Every structure is written in C-alpha cells, then in structure tokens.
Amino acid sequence: MALADHLRELRARLLRVAVLLVVGIVVAWFFYDQLFALIYEPYSQAQTALEGKGVNSQPVLTGVANPLLLQLKLCALATVVLGSPYWLYQLWAFIVPGLHANERRWTRIFAAVAGPLFLLGVAVGYYVLPKGIEVLIGFTPGALQSLVEFGEYFRFLTRMLLVFGVAFEIPLFVVMLSLAGVVSGASLAAYRPWIIVGTFVFAAVATPSTDPFSMLMLALPMSVLFLVSEGIARLVDRRRRRRQVEEGLAVGDDEASPLSYSPEDVSRSRLDDED
C-alpha cells in the first residue's frame, strides 16, 4: 500500500473508534448511577477499613463544572474498557495489510484474545484498588482529616485500571514477536531471570499506588503470563524447526547455509515485490 492509502486506512479506523466512543458515551449516560456506584465501591471499602483504624476520610467534589466533567469522563472510561475488543480489533485490522498470509492467520487468533486479556487486567486492577487506597490514605496523621478530591480519585482509578489492562497485553506481544521470528523460546529462557526482575520493576513504577500489594498483584500475573508465552514460543520454535526439516531447509549450528550462485532477474524481482 502507498503512504496515502495507509493514511486513509488509519483515518477510517480512527473514525470508527471515534464513533464507538460517541455512541458508547451516550449509552453509558443512561447507566451513570450504576457506573458511579461501581467506581465508588473501592473507596467505600477502603473508607470502612480506615474507620476501624481511626482515620477519617471523606470524598469531596470541588468546582462548578466538575460534576459534569466527572460524568463525561466516567462514561468515556466505561466505553474504553467495555469497547476494548472493538478498538483492539481496529488496531489489528490496520496492521494486517503489512503482514504475510501465515502471520495474518495467527494474528486473527490473538486479536480475539487481546480483548479478554485487557478486560482481565482491568478486573484485577479493580480488585486491588481498595487495598491500595487504604494503604495510601492510612498515612494520614490521627490529628487530621483526609479530604479526598473525587476528581483526583477518579484519575487515580483510571490510571490504575488502564495500567493493569495494558500490562496484561505485554505477554501477547511476546508471542506475536515469536510467531514473526523476532524472538525465540530459547532466547526468552536465557533472559528469563532478568525479564522477571524487569516485570517487578515495571509493576513498581507503573502502578499509581506505592503499596507492595498492588505491585505484586500486577507483577505476579504478568510473570505467569510471560512463562505461558515462553512455553508457546518454544512450541512455535519446535514446529518451525520441524517444518524446516521436512522442507530440507534446516541447517545445523556447525554447517554453512547454502548459497545460490545463479543470477536473479532484477526486473522480475521488482515486479514480484510490486505484486
């Protein structure tokens, strides 16, 4: 595809995602009370736990336009989370024209897996939110009252959910790189200790809260998913090796690769590339 065609394709995909966002916000507007109760629940649980420790925390919402902005942002967040299978598919559909036929077959499978993985990450992030809020507000001195600006709490919740959702996609990209031949299962196994350490460092930096519970709840599932992706990469390498042996293309580590000394028709090669 020419550059202009790629730009038109990108514009079409972005327009579809924008339409999804607009329609999703309109639909979510009618379920605002249920959505608000859903995002308020983690803070309510943390507030109940903090009262038992003698810490008084109350949410406040300041500003004239902030209630309307909160409603719009909450509806947009619900659309992004629940519509993740669709916009992830649009991302895949934009990449597909640049892939080979065999790679397209595999990416169809992973396009179907990407959405559920993102939702699973968001669910895990939502599960650890109460503990993270409790730990952070728990540092409030006993002589003070903690007033939590609800807009700031919502931004904290949004970052937490999106970080967990995106982090759960990382092992998926590892498998895609393996299928594309960029990385191998053996190389992943060789660097496994460093990758796991890097996963914990990423979890410590990426989570908005500083409590170790949230970090572990992000790092441990990511490590398990990485080990699963390493196993899949090994299976892919074994299958690729078997196919090369069957086709007579496999070369030993101590053997030289066969070279072709016959001249190639440049004009024919150019025509093939254009096709």
- One-letter amino acid at 142 equals G
Contacts of 153 (CB under 8 A, 6+ apart): 43, 59, 133
Whole-number pLDDT of residue 220: 82
**What's the rounded Cα separation, in Å, for the pair 268 and 275?**
11
Closest listed residue to residue 164, CA positions, set 197, 208, 195: 208
Closest listed residue to residue 103, CA positions, set 1, 9, 240, 248: 240
Q: What is the pLDDT along the chain (275 residues), one digit of tens a residue?
A: 666 777 788 888 889 889 999 999 999 999 999 999 999 998 888 888 888 777 888 888 888 888 899 899 999 999 999 888 888 888 777 776 666 666 666 667 777 788 888 888 889 888 888 888 888 888 888 777 888 888 888 988 888 888 888 888 887 777 777 776 677 777 888 888 888 888 888 777 777 666 677 777 778 888 888 888 888 888 878 877 777 776 665 554 444 555 555 555 545 444 444 55
DSSP letter at 183 equals S
**What's the rounded Cα separation, in Å, for the pair 29 and 78?**
10
**What's the rounded Cα separation, in Å, for the pair 23 and 263?**
58
Phi, psi of 256 (to 5 degrees): -80, 145
Instruction: Quote the tokens at residue 109.
Output: 């499978």
Domain boundaries, the chain: 3-248
Structure-derived torsion over alpha carbons of residues 46, 62, 37, 54, reported in degrees to the nearest 10: 20
Closest listed residue to residue 87, CA positions, set 47, 119, 121: 119
* Consecutive H or E run containing 58: strand 57-60
> Which residues on neighbouring strands pair with residue 57, listed in sequence order?
146
